[in-house]
């Protein structure tokens, strides 16, 4: 019999997001509501430095946020390069539910959020300002470092007690990125993909590499072919590797959840972990297999 409900999320802070999502799922709530509410915890946490408030800024000293969400009907919404709004995932959900569009970016996304009643919020903390000042001094040349300052995107997938799937992904992207840079996280099929017949996947790591491989769509397609979540993630990492000659210098990790409630993950380098809560798993951390140490 299928395992339900289930929530899986990237990184250690995935546990706090899972715990919130689980409250909703275990009370019979929808996969979509649980996915949104789960990642909102991370967005609001100033101690998580690559999601929402308190993040590393871009190289111009501005925090710009990317997020997306998908529901069981295959609908999706997304925002990119959004400034001054605490909950990008909720703006993404409103794009999905209240507009005929999938994606809004930059000032347009912010104008939309404000028109929907969201408040302008200063997302910069002392941490954000200090890190930016340090970075400016030490890095006249732009060179992002993976797995050091850049490894906290939250991607979260849910399966509710009705058997419906959803997912959400939200990030401030690569630390000290070019202003206006958009990563994989708000790109449907790259940083997140959900197909209610098969399963869902979400990604973390160097977004450019994930985009080149259409990473999360690929994970779901491998599951459609009959592969387990872990094997699907491994095959997608192999594809990322084959499309990115610099793969030894970057991290990419995928996690996946299928319609039966099975979960898994795989990454290029050790150091990535994820959290799973289900009737059988008490919000446990897993370190997936990886390609290189
Ligand atoms: C990005 N994928 O913007 C994001 C960053 C990330 O874990 O996932 N870090 O490229």
| C-beta of residue 102 within 8 angstroms of C-beta of residue 188 | yes
Residue pair 227/219 in contact by the 8 Å Cβ criterion: no
| Cβ atoms < 10 Å from Cβ of 97 | 12
**Which residue's structure tokens are 């409630």?**
261
pLDDT at position 143: 65
Asked if 78 and 103 count as a contact pair (C-beta separation under 8 A), the reply is: yes
pLDDT tens string 41-76: 999 999 998 899 999 999 999 999 999 999 999 999
Q: Active site residue: 42, 50, 153, 202, which one?
A: 153
Q: Is 204 close to ligand 1, i.e. is its CB under 6 Å away?
A: yes
Q: How far apart are CA 52 and CA 44, in angstroms?
A: 6
Q: How far is CA 77 from the centre of its chain?
A: 13
Atom of ligand 1 nearest to the CA of 191: 2
pLDDT of residue 138: 80
Q: Strands 263-269 and 290-292, how do they pair? A: parallel
137: left (phi over 0), alpha (psi -120 to 50) or beta: alpha
Q: Give residue 165's pLDDT.
A: 98
In short, whether 278's Cβ falls inside 6 Å of ligand 1 is no
Q: Is 55 in the pocket of ligand 1 (CB under 6 A)?
A: no
State the Cα torsion 140-134-58-51 to the nearest 10°: 150
pLDDT (tens digit, 9 = 90+) per residue, 85-103? 999 999 999 999 999 999 9
Angle at 264 between CA 287 and CA 193, to 5 degrees: 120
Q: Tell me: the pLDDT tens digits for 136-182?
A: 888 766 666 555 445 689 999 999 999 999 999 999 998 889 999 99
- 41, 17 Cβ separation under 8 angstroms: yes
CA-proximal residue: ligand 1, atom 5 (nearest): 173
The interface pTM score, or ipTM, of the predicted complex is: 0.97
Q: What is the pTM of this model?
A: 0.97
| 176 φ/ψ angles, rounded to the nearest 5 degrees | 60, 30
Indicate if 171 belongs to the active site.
no
DSSP, res 204: E
What is the CA(249)–ligand 1 centre distance, in A? 14
Distance 235 CA to ligand 1 centre (A): 20
- pLDDT tens figures, 208-243: 999 999 999 999 999 999 999 999 999 999 999 999
Distance 203 CA to ligand 1 centre (A): 8
Given ligand 1 and candidates 184, 240, 265, which is best to mutate, with the most ligand atoms within 8 Å of its CB? 184
Q: What are the residues whose beta carbons fall under 8 Å from the beta carbon of 75, sequence distance 6 or more? A: 96, 97
C-alpha 85/C-alpha 81 separation (Å) is 11
Q: Is 64 in the pocket of ligand 1 (CB under 6 A)?
A: no
Q: Give the nearest ligand 1 atom to 181 CA.
A: 3
Percent of the chain with pLDDT over 70: 96
Ligand 1 center from residue 221 Cα (angstroms):
22
């Amino acid at each position: 019999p299928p395992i339900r409900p289930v929530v899986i999320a990237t990184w250690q802070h995935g546990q706090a997001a899972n715990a919130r999502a689980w409250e909703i799922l275990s009370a019979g709530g929808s996969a979509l509501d649980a996915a949104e509410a789960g990642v909102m915890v991370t967005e609001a946490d100033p101690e998580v430095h690559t999601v929402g408030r308190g993040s590393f800024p871009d190289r111009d000293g501005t925090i710009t946020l990317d997020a997306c969400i998908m529901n069981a009907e295959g609908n999706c919404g997304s925002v990119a390069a959004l400034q001054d709004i605490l909950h990008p995932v909720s703006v993404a959900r409103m794009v999905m539910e209240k507009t005929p569009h999938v994606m809004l970016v930059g000032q347009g996304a912010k104008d939309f959020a404000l028109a929907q009643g969201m408040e302008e919020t200063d997302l910069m903390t002392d941490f954000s300002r200090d890190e930016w000042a340090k970075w400016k001094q030490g890095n006249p040349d732009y060179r992002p470092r993976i797995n050091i300052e850049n490894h906290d995107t939250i991607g979260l997938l849910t399966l509710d007690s009705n058997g419906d799937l959803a997912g959400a992904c939200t990030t401030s992207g690569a630390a000290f990125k070019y202003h206006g840079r958009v990563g994989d996280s708000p790109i449907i099929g790259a940083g997140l993909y959900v197909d209610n017949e098969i399963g869902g996947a979400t990604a973390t790591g160097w977004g450019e590499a994930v985009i080149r491989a259409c990473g999360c769509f690929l994970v779901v397609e491998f599951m459609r072919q009959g592969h387990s979540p872990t094997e699907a993630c491994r095959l997608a990492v192999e594809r990322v590797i084959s499309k990115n000659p610099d793969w030894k210098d970057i991290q990419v990790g995928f996690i996946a959840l299928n319609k039966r409630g099975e979960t898994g993950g795989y990454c290029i380098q050790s150091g990535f972990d994820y959290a799973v809560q289900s009737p059988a798993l008490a919000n446990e951390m897993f370190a997936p297999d990886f390609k290189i140490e």
